[in-house]
Amino acid sequence: MGTALWPFVVYFIAVTAVVISMIAISSLLGERHREKATDTPYESGIVSTGSARLRLSIRFYLVALFFVIFDVESIFIFAWAIAFRELGWAGYIEVVIFIVVMAAGLVYLWRLGALDWRTSKRNNKDTD
């Protein structure tokens, strides 16, 4: 077993040497400058104008979370579609149950108002 591991040890040493040499060479040959704008953050080459502490509504995060959940659902359905012939009727019934459960979750979120971007009328009654 000891003779089978020596290629991995050599590979590990070679990779470590390459990484260390790349870091050393870049620190020796890298450009060094200190200017006023060096530490200024920017987005896509555009200098920022406001504060980075922008408050976003929780609805942005909820919609992103719902998107991820239903995106994962589409991945499962796609995987089922690829193996459709091998799974047969049992796989078909399982994916129908899966879709019904996810649709029930979507209807629940819809009725709860989690997908509505407008402010609810209940919140506006409090201010009247």
- Residue ranges making up the domain that contains 109: 58-117
Output the tens digit of pLDDT for each of the chain's 128 residues: 567 888 899 999 999 999 999 999 998 988 777 777 666 766 666 766 777 677 777 778 877 888 888 888 888 889 889 998 898 899 999 999 999 998 998 898 888 877 777 665 555 454 44
Tokens of 90: 């049992």
Whether residue 51 is contained in a domain is answered as no
**Nearest residue to 117 via CA among 63, 69, 66:** 63
Whether residue 99 is contained in a domain is answered as yes
Whether residue 14 is contained in a domain is answered as no
Q: What is the CATH number of the domain that holds 65?
A: 1.20.58.1610
> Are the beta carbons of 103 and 97 closer than 8 angstroms?
no
Task: Quote the number of domains for the chain.
Answer: 1
The pLDDT score that the predictor gives to residue 25 is: 94
Whether residue 24 is contained in a domain is answered as no
Tokens of 83: 């193996």
88: left (phi over 0), alpha (psi -120 to 50) or beta: left
